[in-house]
């Protein structure tokens, strides 16, 4: 039988977790795709075990985010044992904008670049994100999808700011290149019949 | 004065407001006369919005119910 104090702690945790669930799930979806539900569940259990160490209730959302990001990173590492940095030479100075202009995938379009993006549904974008190495996907998602400041991401990932900025730069370039490769692979480079 | 390659390399940082003043000024100077790089900036901005918009997915009801059930069982967590 839980004591009154335990019941109160559980209730406080429940209020925080339930309020944050939609945000945590969305974040996990982008970080680990189909494993999102399991990742959120792991994170909730870990968080509950350490809830009494949370000193400031206002820090709850950021604290839950940090736990979830760590769970997702562990899962990513377990899947790909050797996350490796991609050198800037490999990424090159790929420009999706120029690639679309040069290859002209929709020759009869006046809005070539926007038409390119319109070929992608949400599932396609998530599929492209899933192809990015975890090292680049995590900061990219945290900054551009969830709106964290780069300094906050550095704190969350316990990495120097310069490292986060370099990974963001490479991650953006890789994302652009992978969008193009995915479009080629999935036959999206054809103008839809309007 | 910087060339297109240098400007393109810094476009996202420019949009993020993450460039130091001299670098930002150099990019802005380049954009003032380079129409192609202006197109790059507009597209980079579009791409950022696209990434934020399209990567989102609401939590499905059944997943939400299962996760709430996890919260209901917290008493059993050691």
C-alpha A82/C-alpha A89 separation (Å) is 20
C-alpha A36/C-alpha B37 separation (Å) is 38
Do A144 and B18 make contact, defined as CB atoms within 8 angstroms?
A: no
| Domain residue ranges in chain A | 4-79, 88-185
**Phi and psi of A139, rounded to 5°?**
-65, -35
Taking only residues 74 to 133 of chain A, the set having a beta carbon closer than 8 angstroms to any beta carbon of chain B reads 93, 95-98, 101, 113-114, 117, 120-122, 124-126, 129
Do A21 and B66 make contact, defined as CB atoms within 8 angstroms?
A: no
Q: Helix A4-32 crosses helix A122-131 at what angle (to 10 degrees)?
A: 90
Q: May I ask the CATH architecture of the domain A4-79?
A: Orthogonal Bundle (1.10)
Chain-wide mean pLDDT for chain A?
85
CA of A80 vs chain B CAs: smallest distance (Å): 22
Is A88-185 the same fold as A4-79? no
The answer to whether A176 and B47 have CB atoms below 8 angstroms apart is yes
Q: May I ask the CATH architecture of the domain A88-185?
A: Orthogonal Bundle (1.10)
ipTM of the complex: 0.79
Instruction: Determine how many CB atoms are found less than 10 A away from the CB of residue B67.
Output: 19
**Which residue in B5, B54, B58 is closest to A125 by CB distance?**
B54
Instruction: Specify the pTM.
Output: 0.81
| A69-92 pLDDT, tens digit each | 999 988 876 666 545 555 555 566
Reading the block at residue B39, the tokens are: 């197109």
Alpha carbon distances (Å) from A28 to A105, A160, B40? 33, 23, 31
The answer to whether A191 and A109 have CB atoms below 8 angstroms apart is yes
Residue A48 binned pLDDT confidence (cut-offs 50, 70, 90) = very high
| A97-115 pLDDT, tens digit each | 988 988 888 888 888 888 9
A150 reaches B (C-beta below 8 A):
yes
Residue of B nearest to A25 (CA): B59
Residue with tokens 């604290």: A63
């Amino acid at each position: 039988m839980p004591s009154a104090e335990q019941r109160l702690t559980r209730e406080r945790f429940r209020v925080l977790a339930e309020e944050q669930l939609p945000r945590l799930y969305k974040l996990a979806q982008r970080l680990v795709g189909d494993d999102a539900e399991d990742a959120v569940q792991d994170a909730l259990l870990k968080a509950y075990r350490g809830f009494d160490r949370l000193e400031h209730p206002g820090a709850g959302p950021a604290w839950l985010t940090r736990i979830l990001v760590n769970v997702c990173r562990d899962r990513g590492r377990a899947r790909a044992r050797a996350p490796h940095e991609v050198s800037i030479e490999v990424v090159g100075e790929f420009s999706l904008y120029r690639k679309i202009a040069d290859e002209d995938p929709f020759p009869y379009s006046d809005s070539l670049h926007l038409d390119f993006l319109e070929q992608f549904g949400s599932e396609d974008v998530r599929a492209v994100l899933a192809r990015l190495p975890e090292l680049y996907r995590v900061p990219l998602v945290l900054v551009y999808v969830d709106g964290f400041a780069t300094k906050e991401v550095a704190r969350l990932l316990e990495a120097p700011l310069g490292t986060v900025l370099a990974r963001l730069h490479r991650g953006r370039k890789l994302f652009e290149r992978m969008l193009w490769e995915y479009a080629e692979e999935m036959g999206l480079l054809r103008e839809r019949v309007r | 004065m910087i060339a297109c390659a240098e400007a393109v390399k810094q476009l996202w940082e420019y949009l993020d407001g993450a460039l130091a003043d001299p670098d930002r000024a150099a990019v802005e100077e380049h954009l003032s006369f380079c129409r192609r790089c202006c197109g790059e900036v507009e597209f980079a901005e579009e791409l950022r919005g696209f990434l934020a918009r399209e990567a989102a997915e609401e939590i499905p009801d059944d997943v939400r119910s299962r996760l709430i059930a996890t919260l209901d069982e917290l008493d059993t967590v050691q």
